[in-house]
Amino acid sequence: MLTVTLILLPLALSLIILLLKEQRAIRQFALAGAVVEFGISVVAFIGYKYSGQYNLFYSADWLTGLGVSLKFGMEGISLLLVMLTTFLAPIIILASFNHSYSRPSAFFSLILFMEMAMIGVFTASDGLMFYIFWELALIPAYFICAVWGGNDRIRITFKFFIYTFTGSLFMLLALIYLYFKTPLPHSFDFQWLYAVSLNPAEQIWIFLAFFIAFAIKIPVFPFHTWQPDTYTGTPAAGSMLLAGIMLKMGIYGMIRWMIPICHDAMQQWGGIVLILAITGIVYASLIAVRQSDMKRLMAYSSIAHVGLIAAGVLTMTTYAMQGAVIQMVSHGINIVGLFIVIDLIEQRTGTRTISDLGGIALKAPRLALFFMVILLGSVALPLTNGFVGEFLLLLGIFEYSAIFAAVAGLTIIFSAVYMLWMFQRTMLGKSNAKTENIRDLNRIEMATLIPLVILIFWIGLFPGIFLDMALPDVQQILFFVFDIP
């Protein structure tokens, strides 16, 4: 029931909030709701015990004739990602407080709706439900971007929508094909889908269909071109939702659906897509170096970082998978933190262009400090969350191929280059007309950033809790690959 509550509560909140009129009430209601949601997920977290079966399982018949049922449950990885979602949602809501968006009830309603959809994706254990929530998550993202976005938002959102939607249609095709391969009466239940045996040619097609869907969402090079535009075009909360949580849907899909179903094809062809992912790391890192818009720089850095995660998942080694799980959480935290900082800078100075900024650390040392800490997490400095993930990912990739690891490892150099350069050009140096009178963080802003910073160090110092939680799940998924019962 807990799982269903987690899905239904944000939905209910998002509907109720539409009735509210006053901006203040809307904000507080949204925040309180999201915090309660987080509280519920913490209850789930505390009560979690690995059982080998889906935990906190809920099942109800829906379209029995079609073999579609409402099945939701949480395994280690799902639970971690649900935690990430419920943790980030209040922070994203809080970070939107200092914007006065038009039609605030619709705005916060969409955020909560999106939270619902993403939790649905992470908990669905039925193929069709997974697909439905997957697409549901796209709708609020589309509206947030299209209604409250910046210049050129219509073209950007259109591209974003069509691109990701096209990708998910491939996934739907694959799911339907698998559905008809299940024994009569057909079913979309994920256990049934896992059990489908496919000949090599079918495996390849299914693999390609899944890969395209997930690769666009993640995004893996060269399917990434929707991302930089979308990040720059959406309001801050939109980019946080997209980069912080929505990208993880793709990686989660890879882990939960692609590996168990088409691991044979992956073992055969995974190397080629792995090369794509690793090329993407270097490619995006190099491009990030010369970006002038901070958000766009973040977009490319995000492509590089999630490229590494995708590469790790594609190697199908325990360490890399564990690293991928940890890094999904870490990346969510770091990128949201960075977007918040960028948003704060943009509000104060009215610009995101790096060359227009400088010397912010003089007047706003707290802002600079938080920026530095989150940035260090992002460049994977040991004792921050980024390191644990990247260490495990690179170790896993190294087990797969030392050369791949060496190339993928370039990311630790490049990320230092572009991140530090950005930090230097915005925070350090002499202040100019725009940054001269910049205000330091106030209490609400500190309250937004402090939880992130705490988690950065918590995961960096004691990743054990998170690793232990994901391990049985990862092992079970890898059992499918290596046919160990």
- Interacting residues with other proteins (CB under 8 A): 159, 162-163, 222, 225-226, 283, 286-287, 289-291, 318-319, 322, 359, 361-362, 365-366, 376, 381-383, 387-388, 391-392, 394-395, 398-399, 402, 405-406, 409-410, 412-413, 416-417, 420-421, 424, 427-430, 461-464, 467, 471
C-beta of 291 vs 448, nearer to other proteins? 291
User: What minimum distance in Å lies between the beta carbon of 377 and other proteins?
Assistant: 12
Nearest to 17 by CA among 84, 121, 93, 118: 93
Distance in angstroms (rounded) separating the CA atoms of residues 408 and 274: 10
User: What minimum distance in Å lies between the beta carbon of 318 and other proteins?
Assistant: 6
User: What minimum distance in Å lies between the beta carbon of 479 and other proteins?
Assistant: 14
Nearest to 408 by CA among 263, 244, 258, 284: 284
C-beta of 137 vs 216, nearer to other proteins? 216
C-beta of 190 vs 400, nearer to other proteins? 400
C-beta of 287 vs 340, nearer to other proteins? 287
CA neighbours closer than 13 Å in the CB half-sphere of residue 253: 33
Distance in angstroms (rounded) separating the CA atoms of residues 388 and 219: 22
Distance in angstroms (rounded) separating the CA atoms of residues 455 and 334: 10
User: What minimum distance in Å lies between the beta carbon of 84 and other proteins?
Assistant: 20
Read off the tokens for 79: 């639970």
Q: Kindly state the DSSP code that residue 418 receives in the 8-state scheme.
A: H
User: What minimum distance in Å lies between the beta carbon of 277 and other proteins?
Assistant: 15
Widest pairwise Cα distance in the chain: 71
C-beta of 105 vs 426, nearer to other proteins? 426
Q: Which residues contact 41 (CB under 8 A, 6 or more apart)?
A: 6, 79, 82, 83, 86, 87
C-beta of 42 vs 465, nearer to other proteins? 465
294-315 vs 402-427: helix crossing angle, rounded to 10: 160
User: What minimum distance in Å lies between the beta carbon of 225 and other proteins?
Assistant: 4
C-beta of 138 vs 156, nearer to other proteins? 156
User: What minimum distance in Å lies between the beta carbon of 319 and other proteins?
Assistant: 6
The neighbour count for residue 47, using CB atoms within 10 Å, is: 10
Q: Which residues contact 61 (CB under 8 A, 6 or more apart)?
A: 69, 70
Nearest to 91 by CA among 38, 48, 52: 38
C-beta of 94 vs 379, nearer to other proteins? 379
The neighbour count for residue 42, using CB atoms within 10 Å, is: 13
Read off the tokens for 124: 């669905």
Dihedral, 431, 436, 440, 442 alpha carbons, nearest 10: -150
C-beta of 71 vs 296, nearer to other proteins? 296
User: What minimum distance in Å lies between the beta carbon of 259 and other proteins?
Assistant: 18
C-beta of 287 vs 328, nearer to other proteins? 287
User: What minimum distance in Å lies between the beta carbon of 50 and other proteins?
Assistant: 15
User: What minimum distance in Å lies between the beta carbon of 395 and other proteins?
Assistant: 5
Dihedral over Cα of 218, 216, 72, 255: its sign: negative
| DSSP notation for 230-250 | HHHHS-HHHHHIIIIIIHHHH
